[in-house]
Amino acid sequence: MLYISFSYIQKFWRKCGCLPLYAVDGTFTTSDKFKHTILFAVSYDANNKLMILAYAICDIENENNWFWFLSKMGNDFPGSKCVLGDFDKGLQSHSVTQLLANTNAKFSRCVRHMCLNCKTAHAIPKGKHCTFEQICFNLAKTTTRERYEPFLEELHEQIGEYHRDWWDERYHQFASYHFIDNGVKRYGKVTSNAAEQLNSVHVDNRGLPILLLIESINNWNMKMFIERKTSVRNVTDDNLTSFASEKHIQMLELASRRSVSWVEWNGNEVSGKVMKPQDILSSVRVTIGTHNHVVKCPCKYFEDSGILCVHAAALLSYEQGLDVNLKYWYEVRFHKTSYASAYDVELPLAGLDRALKVSDLLPPEHKATAGRPRRQRIPSGVRNKSICLACGQAVHYQKTCPRPSTKVRWENSKDKAYAWARHYFKYI
């Protein structure tokens, strides 16, 4: 087994360059000689770009290999709060669950894989597949139990009662409101698509030998890292990253369709009721801290994604006395200057990182080929050599002899056999 994690990625993680979560997945190599499994751990940076944290090469996906890989990840990348995966048999073992609990991390099951598993195990009515997936994703993204219940009822009406019970029994594996109640922020990530996308990127390199495969993965990761580092090299403003800025603009557009009924100041906090126009039942009371910049909203969208919810954005736009500088309302990792400083790390000179030693790469275990061994045959270039009985020369027969008039007189059969043997062993 071989575990690879590069020093510049670990420094980038410790500078809060990535979100405090990562997705894991396993794929197989396509080499004809050596069959192995690659375990990936992939995260997102503050601009929602993929970043390979570490990977390992082992024989198969099982409990021992996943435990070994995640224990290495816990040492190299501390502070992770969530691990997303497809719930492989090795990932759902008791030892892996206990390992994540000891590192204060929680496992989140990929909703897309749950949909596929549910379709395979239990038939979905014809023509309801798109509706089924949409309802399942709504179940995963709801941030409160009150909003979770209506989607369960919709699943019951559209698909069936059994599917509703199947998903409700596993709410602790995927539902956002459960993770929020346990203090885990998933930043809106409910699938392990990051690892799946990485597998598709390296699908053509999986047939390479091990050393070339490692080199190709490292070169791709370093190329992406250098491109992003170059793009933020001359950043001087302290605005939000493009990803966080686009999300905030979307919330401001939605907030423009909301109305604020009243505003109340209470020390360092300001509260207000935000609702849709002419819809009192949709009113939500939101509280914003003017100094600590804390948002308290019943929708809990800010607690899950780190992005201001539509209610807080509406109150922030309505009340003139609030500080509208966006950098105070978002985590430091979403600031451009912090994002640029995270990429300001030293890169290895070229090729493999110095932390990877060639002496650590042991040859794979040799396995005997199945079936009976082939016969040891005489090479074709020697097997057809023969002695001409007319001229005594090799390489041709008596019928094709170019000098048929030349006759070789053999005293006896033994001399003839010895002459044939001398010419035959000459070509071996």
Sheet holding 21-28, edge to edge: 2-5, 50-58, 37-44, 21-28, 82-85, 106-109
DSSP letter, residue 257: T
pLDDT at 19 over 70: yes
CA–CA separation, 205 and 199 (whole Å): 10
pLDDT band (50, 70, 90) for residue 353? very low
Task: Say if CB 167 and CB 152 are below 8 A apart.
Answer: yes
Q: Would you give the DSSP letter of residue 73?
A: H
How long, in residues, is the chain?
428
User: For strand 284-289 and strand 295-296, is the pairing parallel, antiparallel, or unpaired?
Assistant: antiparallel
What is the reported pLDDT for 275?
82
**Full DSSP string of 286-335:** EEEETTT--EE-TT-HHHHHSS--HHHHHHHHH-TTS---GGGTS-GGGB
286 near 294, Cβ under 8 Å? no
CB contact at 8 A, 38 and 27:
yes
Q: What was the pLDDT predicted at 359?
A: 45
- CA angle 357-360-361, nearest 5°? 105
Segment 411-419 mean pLDDT: 57
Between 259 and 410, where is the model more confident? 259
CA-CA-CA-CA torsion for 230, 234, 240, 246, nearest 10 degrees?
-60
**pLDDT at 354 exceeding the cut of 50:** no
Q: Does residue 356 register a pLDDT over 50?
A: no
pLDDT for residue 278: 63
The residue with greater pLDDT, 199 or 72, is 72
**DSSP codes joined into one string, 368-427:** PPSSPPPP-PPPHHHHT--B-TTT--BSS-STT-S-TT--PPPSSHHHHHHHHHHHHHHT
Task: Supply the pLDDT for residue 364.
Answer: 61
Tell me: the pLDDT tens digits for 116-125? 888 777 777 7
Q: pLDDT category, 53, cuts 50, 70, 90?
A: very high
Give per-residue pLDDT as tens, 280-320.
Answer: 656 788 888 777 678 888 888 888 888 888 888 888 777 75
pLDDT at 42: 92
Residue in 317, 85, 39 with CA at minimum distance from that of residue 189: 85
pLDDT tens-digit series, residues 156-199: 887 777 778 888 888 888 899 999 988 888 888 988 888 888 87
Confidence of residue 43 (pLDDT cuts 50, 70, 90): very high
* pLDDT score recorded for residue 389: 66
Q: Which one, of 333, 126, 330, lies nearest residue 248 by Cα?
A: 330
For the record, the structure tokens of 57 come out as: 């090469």
pLDDT at res. 282: 67
**DSSP code, position 351:** S
| pLDDT (0 to 100) of residue 279 | 66
pLDDT tens across 201-258, in order?
787 888 888 888 888 888 888 888 988 988 888 777 778 888 888 888 888 888 888 8
Q: At which residue do the structure tokens 């042991």 appear?
A: 362
**Would the pLDDT of 344 be above 70?**
yes
Q: 85-130 pLDDT, tens per residue?
A: 887 778 888 888 888 888 888 999 899 888 888 877 777 776 777 7
Which region among 41-55, 192-206, 370-384 has the lowest average model confidence (pLDDT)?
A: 370-384
With cut-offs at 50, 70 and 90, classify the pLDDT of residue 270. confident
- Tens of pLDDT, residue by residue over 386-406, are 667 667 666 677 777 777 655
What are the tokens at 268?
């360092």
When comparing pLDDT for 371 and 174, which is higher? 174
